[in-house]
Amino acid sequence: MKDDLFTVGELAKKMNVTVRTLQYYDKEGLLNPSARSEGGRRLYTKKDMVLLYQILSMKYLGFSLEEIKNNLISLDNPEDIYKLLEEQTKAIEYEIDNLNRVLEAIKALKKSVTQTNTVDFNRYADIVSLIRTKNEGFLSVEFFNEDEELATHIKGLFEDNPELGIGLFQKYQQMCDKTISLKAQGKTPDSKEGQILAKEWWDLIFTFTGGNMELLPGILSFSENRENWSEGMRTQQKAVDEFMEEALSIYFQKNSIDFPELEEGYND
């Protein structure tokens, strides 16, 4: 590195990506080097590093390279920087909320052990499982306490096919982040992006239930009853519901899908 310029190798090392990845992003017009050395080597600035972080974050959320290219924040003015920082703030706050909820669950379990001199190993196993999966399925803790049929279904996912169970909860979080990101970009529920997302939501619901639509009331009940949710989780879910209520309604109409109870649940 010289005068705050990074070679492709230096940037790759700092951002934990391969040189091949940076070369590919350059070829696709996602991240072009800001300068070239006298010998023609790619050189990147710290602004390029921030742009790369934005690309990697959107890729993690499931955006295609074409979607990333069309929705990158240019970072050309303070308003752009503020918008990116706001998105990062929300993501970090959500992770903090998750960790705090795990902490509260552990404290409650400790208190129970002290008071009763017994251990609820079912509850303990649930917490351990969620910690091991980096808390990405922590919402399932609420399911375990509210709806017996749904709780049995969720535990079955983890026991019979752990990768599927964990993957579904990861997908759920990615979809929430993606919904909020589309709202921040000014995309509407009836836009192409909004309808693609609606299809992804419906596919996720169908995969999660295994096609058993009798589980929908329990899912809606969980979404509506948020008194035990953290403030960050409530805010996020409200923002998601506001967008998906309309997006799913439009998607159902366009594809002749008749699930009024799901639409009514969102409206409630």
CATH code, residues 6-71: 1.10.1660.10
- Winning range, highest mean pLDDT, from 51-60, 67-76, 107-116, 144-153: 51-60
Closest by alpha carbon to 43, among 3, 81, 14?
Answer: 3
CA distance 11 to 34: 13
Q: What is the tens place of the pLDDT at every residue in 128-160? A: 655 555 444 444 444 444 556 766 776 676 666
Burial of 31 (0-12, 13-18, 19+ CB in 10 A): buried
What is the C-alpha to C-alpha distance for residues 73 and 24, in angstroms, rounded to an integer?
20
pTM of the complete model beyond 0.75: no
CATH 1.10.1660.10 range(s) for the chain read 6-71
pLDDT tens-digit series, residues 154-211 = 667 666 666 676 677 778 878 888 898 888 888 999 999 999 999 999 998 888 888 8
Measured in whole angstroms, the distance separating CA 41 from the mean position of its chain's CA atoms is 36
